[in-house]
Structure 1
Amino acid sequence: MSGAVDELPPARRLTRRGLATRDRIVSAAATLMHTRGVNATTLDDVRVASGTSKSQLYRHFPDKESLVQAVISRQAEGVLERHRQRLERLNSIRGLELWRDGVVQRNALRNGAYGCELGSLASELADQDEAARLTLNEHFHTWQGLLTSGLARMVEAGALRPDADPDALATGLMAALQGGYLLAQTARDVGPMQIALDMAVAHVKSFATTPEA
């Protein structure tokens, strides 16, 4: 015996066509799961919507759980990228107001329908799928971290008083955001989201060093 440890076979690398097929499946699943819900979306639904065969679908996703994880990653990538565009530069009250306005305006385009891409998944999966809950929690932590970092920069820049707590303020903003998504979704009216975020931003502004900060 040589004593050598058997090596695991290398992971299968997807061809360009394979990557395109996988992307098409995840995109179709993300759309269906966001508009219909995860439980109401079957693998057959995804297969039809993505224009793939059963063998193609199961080659990339052997079960629904693995597809759900891919959808969570896809939705998180899109959500976080949108918010990074404003929050990574956040250092003023005006910047926070522009972030709020952008969120409300985007949700108003669909009259609040379908809610938050990540929040909708969390409300459906958090008590059913522990792996999905943990993954979603990580993405929400990253999202809230963007707000926390921006608020910390506002303290450093002198826009907020030193006694402002970036972590607590970010938690309040995230709670207002997600609650606003839910109320707007059920009312089919973005107004409740506007009110919730206005109140959360007003609380942040109560720590402003000057009225014009």
Structure 2
Amino acid sequence: MAKPLKVGVIRFPGSNCDFDALRFFQIYGHNPEFIWHKESKTNFSHDLIVLPGGFAFGDRFYEEATGSYNIDPAVMALKSPAMEIVRKYAEKGKPILGICNGFQILTEAGILPGKLEKNISGKFHCNLVKCEITGKSFFHDEEIKGKIVSIPVAHGHGRYVIDEKTCKELNSKGQIFLKYLAEDNPNGSCENIAGVCNDKGNIFGLMPHPERIPKEECFIKAIEKYVKRYN
């Protein structure tokens, strides 16, 4: 086996898929560890940074003007010191993976294009959906492009929205790497988009949860091959 990956999993108050992510990498012999949200320093020793799913800070923020709490996933997470680590890794072109709430955080931070809004049904969806690996594929693994996978989703704000011009650009550049099959779109995402990457192709975000289906090896293998090639 190649050298195990050192993976940093950032934990926010309210993260609830952090141990799922940790276990996902452990199953394949890698060395994941938690990074608490108050940590801001890094020596770039991690091969991959992961922002897991959950409800960072309860998906809520307090608005003094109205004296009430509002639901907006990711807003409070952006104020965490650990986001400095994420931004530093992004600037250096290091690999980053955002899953569900992690994807919401990356879009809210402007690190990934688009925005995740409330499901068109207004309901929380928690079920298996079928997705196709598209574009330049997950972490550029051409071997799995076109593969159909059944993968869990669990979100209330998973509807991916983006303006038409940018959507065309993402399509032309192959940045849309995961799409729901039309009949399985759980949230009303435009063009059935389930996951996108940045222009450089080192930062990936998706709403479905690959860490919950560790027996489906295509996701971990793609990450392993990417890190081996570029790190």
Q: TM-score, normalised by structure 1?
A: 0.29
Q: Is the helix fraction higher in 1 or 2?
A: 1
Q: TM-score, normalised by structure 2?
A: 0.28
